[in-house]
A and B are shown apart, each in its own frame.
Chain A
């Protein structure tokens, strides 16, 4: 589903990704962990070209998105992205936040988008908030709307960039529950997170990123109980 080959990214002199090669299969739940500044978010943002790689290739669903001829907007419609700071559109209600892209990308009729959006908001447990503006919602509710907004495009892949890092602790659970639901439905997911329990429960594979490289990877049971790399051990010791 996603192939990454020799992905490099630097901001000026600051090298953030040092040549990552990785394959993510359809239906796989990949959790990316690691210390901050290790390139996790940049890696994720390169997958839908919010950051343009300095070198290397990214293939999504059989298409090389790093090629100049690729219509990146069409590719992005296949992959939802959830941000740390939600980034809901403050001038739109929850329902309008969901409907905006499907309708204006001419992917569905207004009626179709509306009924899909309502059912998605119901799925994330916010049916009673459809006419609320983001400013009237709590952090956890905002993030659930943001997840539903991405799902309104009927994406094949969902990218999560530290979706619970900006939340009050008591709101983390409700967001993770929605993500668990998605995982159970077989969605392909790439999740950058500091929620180790979530990584253990949901991840098919854990990537430990540090210094712009995937230093170690494997099944969560192996990574969390028997890490091989020194840096992984050190990191896990400090967070667990």
Chain B
């Protein structure tokens, strides 16, 4: 009989030096929250226990100190020391490890990782959308990896990616190619933050930039064939209400259909920033 797979704990790696960023990457804010908190909460939705991996010198930093911590057993060893320290803390557990510079991670990324985990391998990881190599810092590390990692480091190895390339791991294809994009420089942070902070980057209320195209009677009544506007409308139904007042549309919504991003949509479809909306008056082809 094969033993049941080890339980999985969560580990946020927050021990990096952030040398290229020149700021503590764990404390960078997206959507008004530190990346450490975002990663911690994300893990907490999928595994029962989550810890923050820190170097001894960082243990007093308040954002880290609020969380259960695992302090690196040696100073200055890079992420592999953080992973080894976690595996040593609870040798019966596997660890879902997340770096602190992956702001685009989502629940589905972790769901897939846990669902397709191979407990009989040393680790389950995604292959990079950029170079196809394993991504060790958004991965499940199995208890059996502990001894291997120790031997690897004794032999001078420092790079967990290099370890993964020469070890028996399960490699998964990410469904969302962007989900594992990491943020190392101030420029990358600026781009990522503006993508995530864009008003309405998440569906629902709050002002967001939308593009609306008009055809036929609506085009004539709006006096334009398209416009870009900031609207708090959460759905196409709300948006039509808003624009009907603004442009004096005579058609009641009940007679229209709506398309979002070039395909028919429901009136309750949640709008997000960047959506392109078309209201479709009664058609009359033929």
A binds B: no
Question: Using a CB–CB distance below 8 Å, which chain B residues touch chain A?
Answer: none
Question: Using a CB–CB distance below 8 Å, which chain A residues touch chain B?
Answer: none
